[in-house]
Amino acid sequence: MTAPAARYESRWDAPHADGLSALDRLVYRSNLLGADRSLANWGGGNTSTKTLVTDHTGREGRALFVKASGTDLATIDRAGFAALRLDDLDLLFEREAMADAEMIDYLLRSALDPGQPRPSIETLLHAFIPAPEVDHTHPDAVIALTSAPCGSELAAEAFGADAIWIDYVRPGFRLARVVAQAVRSQPEARFVLLEKHGLVTWGGTSEESYRATLDAVQRALDALAAVAPIEPLGALAVPPFPPEAREPALMELLPRLRGRISRERHHVLEVDTSQAALDFVGRERTRELSQVGAACPDHLVNTKAKPLFLTDAALEEQLDAFESWYRNYYEANLDDESRPFPIDPTGPRVVLAPGLGLITSGTNAARARISNDLYQRAMAVIQLAGGAGGFTSLSEPEAFAIEYWPLERYKLTLAPPPRELEGRIALVTGAASGIGRAIAERLAAEGAHVAIADIDAAGAGDLAAVLCERYGVRRAQAVDMDVTDEKSVAQAFRSTVLAWGGVDIVVSNAGVAVSAPVEETTREVWDRNFDVLVRGYFLVAAQSIEIMRRQGIGGSIVFVGSKNALAAGRNAAAYSAAKAAELHLARCLAEEAGPAGIRINSVNPDAVLRGSAIWNSEWRAERAKAYGISEEKLEDYYRDRTTLRVAVYPEDVAEAGTRPTTWRCCAAGAMRLSRSARTSTARRRRSSSGRARSRASQRRSRSVRPCAAPVVAA
Ligand code: ZN
């Protein structure tokens, strides 16, 4: 495996850039740098420009626009920059030292706009360098060069007086001052190389600063290539498993791994089986080099200082060893600064599985993806540095001082607060329309990752796309599933496990309904109802329970039943009998799976017409005929036979399906209402029938008692 060769060519579009304001040009330059992850890792690096602005008093003054904390260069826009009064910042250069909290307070008070985001923790590095444009990045080649044991000699050879070498110092006031003093005392220098960290460049113009970054990275890469052996990671020791062997192995590994990692807080996984990942994890020296430490301080919060490298030993033992290392690392390095921060979940964020790929974890799919993005950078750095004679990293105390640094922890607080089902994985059958769709939407809104299982592949694909657009990358996935076919059910669960590592919530909702008098109920009709509603629910539940048991963190299975499971339905013997069998199946399985913490509940809705594929079929006409009314009167008929006199909508069932222990529907359609449901019911009534009726309904709803015999199996 050789180090990747690259040429860093300028992509600067001068006619475009010349027409931009100073801030827009900074946005343009930042996006160009961020577009190449070998230059700027996800969320890492920062850029700035110094320019004149007119403040709220109408006076003109010097300002520093600098990237805000927690933003990403690839996608940053104007709102991602903070503007500070440069005259205020200049005063700090005379100071000898400044504590982090005092520095942050000072920066916030120097803001030009009180509502702007918090500026980067490396702001003073930008302010103190005497140039209009400054870029600080974490390029793979520069980190590799500055992490190699002979890095400073190689750098001296490659850069001469063009570059200044700065030994490792944690970012903050001291690093900013050390760098600026060095730059001011060596005005002929063009670059600063930060040991085990990255690069600083500057220029009189935006293009000059951008080109200086490319120039420095190219020179670092050439210096590494000049000394690189052919195979820095050694020969391929474990070749990639062929896909037909890889999938069963991952099905065995992922739920156990995820379950263990999720004991403290639910996580989802991402498996990278790209050629590059498979090649990296399978090399002779990968284990040794991967355990040296993080490739960049900026990775630590998302990757931990080292990954778990899987061997043939028992998985539990390997995870025990990893967790115990992490706990010791935390306890040994805890000091007054880090003490306010509790230990992170102790499981690995990155797992290297020879033959299988690179596995990352996060509290949601986006965070698992960030860990993957950052470990891609680590893989490149380890290969490049390995080629230059070795790879060294921050010491454990240095790594800890970054990982639990209050300023680094601050970035984590910028994420939206976790929702109720954050980190959960759900699978909903018959999810492309009607009740299933409403449940899938509701689960996604609560933070779950949702497999949209349906025989309607196009409908499932459309909904998955909508949910990803609404909630973010990899939040939903369409899976083909015919619930009557054992192979199809197994394949759908396999896709779900391979996508996120397991499953926590399964809503069995796929349905079929045929209404006919007994004389007209053919054997085919009978079998079809039992195939879908009994065998289908059994197959889905059996797969769910098997995976949930392997995870070992419990789970929830919900059967969307029917009022017909409990009450006789005229002209619906096959459907009603199948629904009754389905309900009893839930009760039996709940008895079996309960000791493993797996809850199995049934929700039994009555006549949910809106958006339903079943109610758009012949079932509607047949039911109207059975009751001797016209099809148009069906909704009124069903509404009026409920105790509450409300129509039941898919969203109501979704509420019940996602909270099966707090909601119960009974055969008569009367529901025990949660406060939110009461509110939405009242709102619905007000909009349709006026306030007087709404008050009456609310009185009625308060008088509704929980069903005497709740249709809940566990
Ligand atoms: Zn940095």
Provide the pLDDT for residue 711.
Answer: 32
Q: What is the mean pLDDT of residues 508-518?
A: 85
Residue 119 pairs in a beta bridge with 68
- Specify the pLDDT at position 229: 67
Measured in angstroms, how far is the CA atom of residue 218 from the centroid of ligand 1? 19
- Say if strands 505-508 and 425-429 run parallel, antiparallel, or are unpaired: parallel
Q: Indicate the pLDDT class of residue 680, thresholds 50, 70 and 90.
A: very low
CA distance 182 to 194: 12
Q: What is the pLDDT of residue 617?
A: 65
Q: Which one-letter amino acid corresponds to residue 333? A: N
Least confident of 89-93, 143-147, 612-616: 612-616
Mean pLDDT of 167-180: 94
Averaged pLDDT score across all residues of the chain: 87
Dihedral of the alpha carbons of 80, 86, 89, 94, in degrees to the nearest 10: 150
- Phi and psi at residue 46, in whole multiples of 5°? -155, 155
CA 65 – ligand 1 centroid, Å:
17
Ligand 1 centroid from CA 289, angstroms:
23
Q: How does strand 60-67 pair with strand 46-54?
A: antiparallel
Q: What is the mean pLDDT of residues 192-216?
A: 97
User: Using CA atoms, how far apart are residues 164 and 108, in angstroms rounded to an integer?
Assistant: 30
Distance (angstroms) between ligand 1 centre and the Cα of 189 equals 19
Question: How many C-beta atoms surround the C-beta of residue 355 within 10 A?
Answer: 17
Distance 345 CA to ligand 1 centre (A): 25
Residue 495 has pLDDT above 70, yes or no: yes
What is the Cβ-side half-sphere exposure of residue 414, based on CA atoms within 13 angstroms? 16
CA-wise closest residue to 536 among 498, 485, 495, 576: 485
Q: Which residues of 525-537 are buried (b: 16+ CB within 10 A; e: fewer)?
A: bbebbbbbbbbbb
* % of the chain residues with pLDDT over 70: 88
Supply the pTM of this predicted model.
0.84
Q: Are strands 308-309 and 350-353 parallel, antiparallel or unpaired?
A: parallel
pLDDT at residue 5 in the model: 52
Ion ligand 1, residues whose Cβ is below 5 A away:
198
543 secondary structure, DSSP code: H
Q: Give the CA angle between residues 137, 139, 144 to the nearest 5°.
A: 130
CA of 171 to the centre of ligand 1 (A): 7
* Residues in a beta bridge with 65: 49, 83
Strands (DSSP E) along 532-647, which ranges?
555-560, 598-603
Active site (catalytic) residues: 575
What does the pLDDT average to over 113-120? 92
CA 218 to CA 691: how far, in whole Å? 73
Q: How confident is the model at residue 6 (pLDDT cuts 50, 70, 90)?
A: low
Structural tokens at position 173:
């006031």
Report pLDDT digits (tens) over 146-168.
998 889 999 999 999 999 999 99
